[in-house]
Amino acid sequence: MTEAHAPQQLPVLFLTEPVLLPGMVVPIELDEAARAAVDAARASSDDRLLVAPRLEDRYASYGVVAEIVQIGRTQTGESAAVLKAHRRARIGTGVTGPGAALWVEVEEVDEGLDDERIPDLAKEYKSLVIANLQRRDAWQVVDMVNKVTDPSTLADMAGYAPYFTEVQKRELLETPSTAERLETLLGWTKDAIAEADVAEKIAEDVREGMDKTQREFLLRQQLAAIRKELGEDEPDGADSYRERVEAADLPEDIRTAALREVDKLERSSEQNPETGYLRTWLDTVLEIPWNVKTDDNDDVDGARAVLDADHHGLDDVKDRIVEYLAVRARRAQRGLQVVGGRGSGAVMVLAGPPGVGKTSLGESVARALGRKFVRVALGGVRDEAEIRGHRRTYVGALPGRIVRAINEAGSMNPVVLLDEVDKLGADFRGDPAAALLEVLDPAQNHTFRDHYLDLDLDLSDVLFLATANVVEQIPQALLDRMELVTLDGYTADDKAAIARDFLWPRQLERAALDADEVTLTDAALAKIVADYTREPGVRQLERLLAKILRKVATKLAGATGQETVVGDESDLKEYLGRPRFTPESDERTAVPGVATGLAVTGFGGDVLYIEATPTDGKPGITLTGQLGDVMKESAQIAHSYVRSHAEALGVDPAFFDHHVHIHVPAGAIPKDGPSAGVTMVTALVSAATGRKVRSEVGMTGEVTLNGRVLPIGGVKQKLLAAQRAGLTTVFIPHRNEPDLDEVPAEVREAIDVRPMTDVAEIVAQALEPTAQGAQAAA
């Protein structure tokens, strides 16, 4: 505890800095106020005065009683005094005294040396101070600190420490307890040592980096001198690049731009960071095949034969490629411009479900034309710079994928396949689909400018083929620049032909089997197509064929000269297990209130069952099955139509006193679109009348509140799905009748397609007759 001493009256001297602690001896310059305090001390208080810090917001509460040791002048001639601080004192009230100085009543305080923690704290603090001084090579100060035995004096020596601020030193002055001062100093000193460690580490790293840079500079200078003595030029110097540019076959504007960059390279030193950028840019420009083009195949019939040999069906895209080739051949015969220029390019997008051969078709097109082929995968690309390149000021900058594709192809007229263009992303780095607008516009891409090259690149003779699963996910502005060729999937006969002619031979080769070792009958192949796969493409079909051949290879591993025949249902069950897909329309429509609709997804056409049933509760409808907003609106429209036309449809108005639940199974799959409107109307009428929907009937079409059937999309894909599901009658909107021209003949022969304009007619033909329905209900 602190003990009070007798109060004293002393003149006071306020100092902004330094902060004086007991035991310190410091010189101060004497201004007018300091001179008055010193004179008063010498005249009336035995050369003693109180020195306290000057604070902006208040008067100091503590100071030190100091003695005037000497008065004189500084080297500049200014008056000065040397003061020695003795004890800490608490400042009391102001009093009157002689002279012009301010006098106060002060009370010296005891510093609480009886605290039992002090020896341990003093020992720890002393060791920290000595360690810090040794790091600074202050050995004389180390000896001085070693001689100090009084803990209070040791703590107050912190007033000399340069790493403590004036604020910290004032806090020490205002802390009479020696133990508290030592605890505070321990924390501050540890922080100061930690900061010093970090500063030394940074300084060491900087020093090492400078030493390494200087060492590399000296070594490079020595290497240059050695090469000069040996008569060797430095590789890839500016002179070397100038020779390469002048020798390269470059267009005149490209040559001018490249020589301008060579001039910059010649003016730059080896230590200039821009030198590396210039060399990389020049290397990229020299790698581009500016004037290299392959000759197109002028044999139109031969090109069609190549396409037919590689792919079954796909007549639309084959016809478009042959037309493109025929026009180029005709222009060449008449001596007209064939390559390059505004609007001379061709850009097509092949849209269709997975597995129909979109990606592999690009390679076949290149082979038919006699061009180089390069594939650019765009799925998941989110950075606009991936298409247009990075500015070359960035570290690691590269040209975009289009320029890299040209480099990879080695010619200026390759076939470039932009795979999965509907799966481009967009984020804060830009929209790559927007960057493709210039690339895929035949009216603009003859002057395509990559950010990295910053030169005009003529893409007008490149044949761009893009692939997509969902056309709606392609931005409209981008889709408008491309010719849309739709690949809607294969019929059962197409799949069987593809499996027989393409997939089976390929899988035989991969399984190391010969045709005389295993035979697949037509009946077995037809059953695989019908009962084991239900897809628009043929990927799953090929996997099943591979599975059969793997099991055959395993069976033949221990036998010789034995032929395996896969011919009937029992054989398929052995190799593939039970059929995964069987017709289920009969089962699903066995009760009233269930209608069969047709839909289109990213995986092609599909069958959609819609269920409706009345329940107890407040009149209205409940919708389930993870439906989108448009499909929910279609259900509301269907309910309103049936309610307003109940008498004409044979529906008891009392039916609408019940709550109606409409459900679309496969609830884990999101569904949307207006084309289920007629199906919902049919399901509601079936549930209301108790008449079942004919199991062989499917339907699609948007419905209005007055019962009109509006056109929808994807007719071909929906009819293919209906064929796969075993449906024989399909109702479509009358305005979709022209779309039937695109449907394969075997599908039109297998399905009775009925164009309709009024949903009431669909309901009348889709429901079973009244007597049969009543008998079934009974």
Residue ranges of the binding site: 352-359
Reference 169, options 4, 13, 16; nearest CA is 16
Residue 655: count other Cβ atoms within 10 Å of its Cβ: 18
Other CB atoms within a 10 A radius of the CB of residue 423 amount to 17
Binding annotation for ATP? 352-359
CA proximity to 709, closest of 657, 742, 674? 674
Please state, in angstroms and rounded to a whole number, the distance separating the CA atoms of residues 61 and 171.
11
Active site residue 201: no
Report phi then psi at 373, rounded to 5.
-125, 135
340-373: b or e for each residue (b if 16 or more CB lie within 10 Å)?
A: eeeebbbbbbbbbbbbbbbbebbbbbbbbbbbbb
To the nearest 10 degrees (0 to 180), the angle between helices 238-247 and 273-287 is 20
Cis link prior to 18 (omega < 30° from 0)?
Answer: yes
How many whole angstroms separate alpha carbon 189 and alpha carbon 482? 72
The amino acid sitting at 697 is V
Give backbone dihedrals phi and psi of 174, rounded to 5 degrees, phi first: -90, 10
CA distance 377 to 388: 15
Closest CA relative to residue 286, chosen from 258, 262, 256: 258
- Find the catalytic residue in 344, 634, 675, 686: 675
675 is catalytic: yes
How far apart CA 72 and CA 79 sit, in angstroms, is 6
Pairing of strands 373-377, 415-419: parallel
Q: How far is CA 243 from CA 237, 238, 255, 258, 259, in A?
A: 10, 9, 12, 11, 10
Burial of 735 (0-12, 13-18, 19+ CB in 10 A): middle
Rounded Cα distance between 662 and 599, Å, is 17
Distance, CA of 39 to CA of 45 (rounded, Å): 10
Residues 262 and 282 sit within 8 Å (Cβ to Cβ): yes
Please, what is the angle between helix 677-689 and helix 759-766, to 10°? Answer: 50
Long-range contact list for 199-204, CB < 8 A, 24+ apart?
Answer: none
Q: Is the CB of residue 699 less than 8 Å from the CB of residue 679?
A: yes
In terms of residues, how long is the chain?
778
Give strand ranges (E) for 561-703: 564-566, 594-601, 604-615, 620-624, 659-663, 697-699, 702-703
DSSP-derived pairing of the beta strands 564-566 and 463-468: unpaired
Q: How many CA atoms lie within 13 A of 550 on its CB side?
A: 7
Catalytic residues: 675, 718
